[in-house]
Structure 1
Amino acid sequence: MPDPVVLVLTQEFDVTADSVVKILNERDVRVFRYDTSYFPRNSTLTYRSTDTGWLTTLVDTTYGRRSLRLEDVTSVWYRRPTPFTADSSLQEVHQEFAVKESAHAMGGIFSALPARWVNLPAVELRAHYKPLQLKVARDVGLRIPKTIITNDPEEAARFSRECDGSIVYKALNSGLIHQPGGWPRGLLTTALSEIPLEILPRVRYSPCIFQELIDKAYELRITVIGGKFFTVRVDSTDGDGKPHVDSRNFLGNLRYTQATLPDEIENRLRQLMRTFELAYGAIDVAVDQVGEHYFLEVNPAGQFAWLDDEVPGLNLASAMADYLSGVSD
């Protein structure tokens, strides 16, 4: 069996990738970390047919010169790579052409590799769609909050009434708004006792997702790596004893503890992961006051480094290193 060679496709600064690459280096596993924004501006890719098969070489000259024969790669971690960038000396229309050609070339060449993927780009793209996630979750028997996705203000108002005004709004995609000259601003899950009349007409401008507000006791962050489940309970209780709507925006002390999933819930989440063909996913679940579990979403490229810092013995980075290097199948 050949020695493992791990290709990590990620942005230049990525704490989660850092933690895994460090472990792989300590184990003397060959790692080629690559930011796709280096291509084609500072890199070359050559895909050549030979009598015995294909010969593919990636050469990066961003910081010195380093190269990788892609046929040697045993696993690829598709870890939030950045957009391709063309030479700035080109006219804008030519830059656009070069970027599109780069995406087609690199996407096709990489996808043809007989390597273990975490996760294949096409698989990850499909799994990112929240409407599809919610449908699949229901199909495998998971509970989901009552949900409506609409850009019809009247339908949104009707849904709010059906939920007695106890609803939340969240973004369908990343929830990031990039304002000119400023930092990206996140759109977090927001509780609404009612949709303000001055806001309601704006629903018409873009599809919105509204869900019933779950009377939750706590949240679960479930990290799945190659079929192994790592479950963490997240407590974000306010001074009034009520958990915060979105723990990412909680200003108090979040408490993270290892937890165990009921077998029935784990089995259904396994079905969801198999349906999407995901080797990795970060799943968010809300648990209500009577112990019912509600699936919220799965992030095929979710962060996990902070969980290793918060929960001693969790060892998510080590588990990912195991999977990428073939130690854990």
Structure 2
Amino acid sequence: MILILTGSQDATTLDVIKWLRHFDQEIMVLSNEDIIEEVQISNDETLLRFTDQRTLDFSKIKAYWYRRGDFTFRLKAAEDHPAIIHAHLKRELNSITQLIHNRLLELPNLSSSLNADSNRLDVMCIAENAGLKIPSFGVFNTRRQVQDFALKHGKIVTKPIGDGISLNEDEVAYMQYTDVFEQEDIDRLPDSFLPGLFVEYIEKKYELRIFYLRGTCYTMAILSQQDTQTSVDMRHYNFQRPNRALPYRLPEEIAVKIDQLMRQLSLKTGSIDIIVSPEDEFVFLEVNPVGQFGNVSSNCNYYLERNVALHLSKLSL
């Protein structure tokens, strides 16, 4: 059996599942909406029973793909317990969840929740050590520091240090974008504030979205610089006139460095963003271990969903 842990109704996962069924694979798909009602873990046994009557026996798992999400327990403490007891019991459940993920990591797998949340700053430093060029960056909490950084590098942008906000609440969408930090933005800063990430702005000739799958880079070039709406952050999609996207042959030396980076991060899959400057320099920006790859697949006819299904099928042998 192939186990998939994913977000509810994740389109990419659904496409991979279709291919797995085409290959006659037995699969079990779980998401946050599947509630664990009974847990049975011992030295050599892991059984999870869910409210929908399904049972997950780890001895039956032949391959595992962590896509997104986590395990959810129905087990709760009595409502009249003090908050400190609720906090303690939550830590107890988190320890059980950690053990479950550790045991899944011992199985043939494509990825794990244990390295799904990458630290942007750590990754940039590791990428630089792997030989990839990165932009200059700084984490600051005073206006003076930001001003000095802008004077040194000219045009700068600001980004989230960790994962950016991307959520909907009360019919309002909250989304963080990369944006140019102008002098008037610096002038409006208080003398001190919570630490923020500031990065040297890199002019783009075009940008690359790369899906990495166990040593192979599938690359798409995005001509986002030709549209002022998408020139700083291509996620400001122009739905009336979408950016042109096409297959791209990544230079072997860059592919080797990306492979080295991903191995150091213990990642078997991931979506990587790189800018190609007007001087044809390849500048690494970030890697998202659970990034979407459907657009890379469809725009470039890479059939990545089929490739992922094939890898999982081979792992299950």
Query: Match for residue 42 of structure 2?
Result: 48
Separation of aligned partners in 2, 1:169 and 1:10: 30
Query: Match for residue 287 of structure 1?
Result: 276
Separation of aligned partners in 2, 1:141 and 1:324: 31
Query: Match for residue 12 of structure 2?
Result: 16
Query: Match for residue 74 of structure 1?
Result: 62
Separation of aligned partners in 2, 1:290 and 1:137: 20
Query: Match for residue 236 of structure 2?
Result: 249
Deviation at 1:95, TM superposition (A): 5.5
Deviation at 1:275, TM superposition (A): 0.8
Query: Match for residue 277 of structure 1?
Result: 266
Query: What SS does the corresponding residue of 1:206 show, helix, strand or coil?
Result: strand
Please give the root-mean-square deviation of Cα atoms over the aligned residues, in Å.
2.6
Query: What SS does the corresponding residue of 1:295 show, helix, strand or coil?
Result: strand
Query: Match for residue 249 of structure 2?
Result: 260
Query: What SS does the corresponding residue of 1:161 show, helix, strand or coil?
Result: helix
Deviates more, 1:264-273 or 1:183-192: 183-192
CA contact (8 A) 1:218 1:243 kept: no
Query: What SS does the corresponding residue of 2:292 show, helix, strand or coil?
Result: coil
Q: Which residue identity does 2:179 align to in structure 1?
A: T
Separation of aligned partners in 1, 2:16 and 2:112: 19
Separation of aligned partners in 2, 1:261 and 1:133: 20
Do structure 1's residue 169 and structure 2's residue 158 form an aligned pair? yes
Deviation at 1:85, TM superposition (A): 5.2
1:57-110 per-residue CA deviation (whole Å, 9 max, x = no partner) reads 22222xx42222112212222212147354678428466555433321132033
CA contact (8 A) 1:84 1:99 kept: no
1:210-236 per-residue CA deviation (whole Å, 9 max, x = no partner) reads 111111111101100111210111112
Q: Which residue identity does 1:314 align to in structure 2?
A: Y
Do structure 1's residue 102 and structure 2's residue 93 form an aligned pair? yes
Query: What SS does the corresponding residue of 2:99 show, helix, strand or coil?
Result: helix
1:191-245 per-residue CA deviation (whole Å, 9 max, x = no partner) reads 123252453228x3322111111111111011001112101111124457x9611
Deviates more, 1:284-293 or 1:301-310: 301-310
Do structure 1's residue 200 and structure 2's residue 189 form an aligned pair? yes
CA contact (8 A) 1:217 1:243 kept: no
Query: What SS does the corresponding residue of 2:109 show, helix, strand or coil?
Result: strand
The 1:179–1:320 alpha-carbon spacing in structure 2 relative to 1, beyond 3 Å, is closer
Do structure 1's residue 38 and structure 2's residue 26 form an aligned pair? no
The 1:217–1:79 alpha-carbon spacing in structure 2 relative to 1, beyond 3 Å, is same
The 1:265–1:177 alpha-carbon spacing in structure 2 relative to 1, beyond 3 Å, is closer
Query: Share of identical aligned residues, percent?
Result: 26
Match of 1:112 among 103, 120, 126: 103
Query: What SS does the corresponding residue of 1:270 show, helix, strand or coil?
Result: helix
Query: Match for residue 25 of structure 1?
Result: 21
> How many pairs are equivalent?
311
Deviates more, 1:187-196 or 1:24-33: 187-196
Matches within 5 A, 1:98-247: 98-113=89-104, 114-125=106-117, 128-164=118-154, 166-176=155-165, 181=170, 183-194=172-183, 196-201=185-190, 204-238=192-226, 244-247=231-234
Separation of aligned partners in 1, 2:32 and 2:166: 23
Do structure 1's residue 324 and structure 2's residue 316 form an aligned pair? no
Query: Match for residue 309 of structure 1?
Result: 298
Separation of aligned partners in 1, 2:89 and 2:96: 10
Deviation at 1:146, TM superposition (A): 1.5
Separation of aligned partners in 1, 2:87 and 2:212: 37
After TM superposition, the score normalised by the length of structure 1 is: 0.85
The 1:320–1:90 alpha-carbon spacing in structure 2 relative to 1, beyond 3 Å, is farther
Q: Which residue identity does 2:215 align to in structure 1?
A: G
CA contact (8 A) 1:176 1:184 kept: no
Q: Which residue identity does 1:16 align to in structure 2?
A: T
Separation of aligned partners in 2, 1:297 and 1:195: 28
Query: What SS does the corresponding residue of 1:151 show, helix, strand or coil?
Result: strand
After TM superposition, the score normalised by the length of structure 2 is: 0.88
Query: Match for residue 3 of structure 2?
Result: 7
